[in-house]
Amino acid sequence: MSGSFAEIHLGALRENLLQVRSQTGTAPILAVVKANAYGHGAVRVAQFLEQCQPKVDFFGVAFLEEGIALRTAGIQNPILVLTGCPMDEISDLIQYDLTPVIFDVDTLAAINTQAAKRGKIIKIHLKIDTGMSRLGILPDDFFTFLEKAASYEMITIEGLLSHFAEADLRDLAFTQTQLNTMNTILGQLAQKGIRLPYYHLANSAAILHFKPSTLSLIRPGLMLYGYSPLKEKTDIPLRPVMQIRARVLALKNVSKGTSISYGRTFITKGDSRIATVAIGYADGYPLSLSNTGIMIAKGKRVPVIGRVCMDMCMLDVTTVRDLSVGDWVTVFGEDGPESIWADQLAQWANTHPYELLCGIGTRVQRRYIQP
């Protein structure tokens, strides 16, 4: 029997997709489902989105294994592997019809050789480093790289992309500089009579408040799952897709002065009722929420007390007299009149919702709620 579970509300996912469409017109959509769809379950999320209206045109994953998992589950849409393609993975990439993002010249020859053996043309997207300084071809080297890529008979260049470093900030000066670099290259391509099917740069933050970066393909990630990456509040309504519940394993009444959990970091200030619940840092509930986090029990907010353990944590439920062993508390989500969401939890944990959602462990069972 599960100690905790996550409800994945697919209707909320569809609502968020509609918000993406409302912000971007008719631009094709690449739904980012890497990192297990930000913890929501990549296979089920992709299966749902592939059948959705508005249409999702691509899926984006980080690594080969993520792409194979989607193909094995029957996903038909093009799948872009965003971190490239190591030499020893080229054969599998071709077998599973995955589209690599390329930024290494040696990889081009290896892909062409493997593709020739299979008699199959391989589509690729080229990545330019416009300022993230992580992956990508430097702008000064781009046209030399492009000429090399275009020389291979078994390779088709389908797209060109880059990645914003700080599109989530209010100050968009550097973001504009990155877009300018991209647009300069696009202008040079046009002068040479080169037109690729897809140019893409816009992530969730850019979709929300930097419309000039839409180009011809968009890459929503976090906003699909119900959260804005922006520091400031957005008026665009997004609905969190995931809610998490944890089971009450034990209840006990303790007296004033009782120490709670490892390190005895919490001492009760009066007679108290303590609930031990089945979620801990091995499940993705951060250790940094020790003596800081809040959950909801029977519609009432209750504090996390003592150090969060690997598999459990403790709550002060003195004010919730009708709570019983076996009941469920809300880790984040809605419960009666109260709600706590992952962005609030992330604030308390001094992190951001990306890390919190992606960190939800496999022991937390996913239950999918159809719209």
Residues serving a catalytic function are 34, 262
Residues ≥6 apart with Cβ < 8 Å to 168: 205, 229, 230, 231
Contact present, 254 and 271 (Cβ < 8 Å): yes
DSSP 8-state symbol, 325: T
Q: Which pair of tokens denotes residue 335?
A: 């419960």
Contact present, 203 and 219 (Cβ < 8 Å): yes
Residue whose C-alpha is closest to residue 117's, from 95, 134, 139: 95
Contact present, 225 and 241 (Cβ < 8 Å): yes
Give the distance from CA 64 to its chain's centroid.
17
Q: What distance in Å separates the CA atoms of residue 308 and residue 242, rounded to the nearest whole number? A: 21
> Which neighbouring-strand residues pair with 122?
155
Does residue 284 come out as left (phi exceeding 0), alpha (psi in the -120 to 50 range) or beta? left
Long-range Cβ contact pairs of 48-52 (< 8 A, separation 24 or more):
48/10, 48/13, 48/14, 48/368, 49/13, 49/17, 50/75, 50/76, 50/77, 52/14, 52/17
Which helix H or strand E contains 160, and what residues bound it?
A: strand 155-161
Cis, peptide link before residue 54, omega less than 30° from 0:
yes
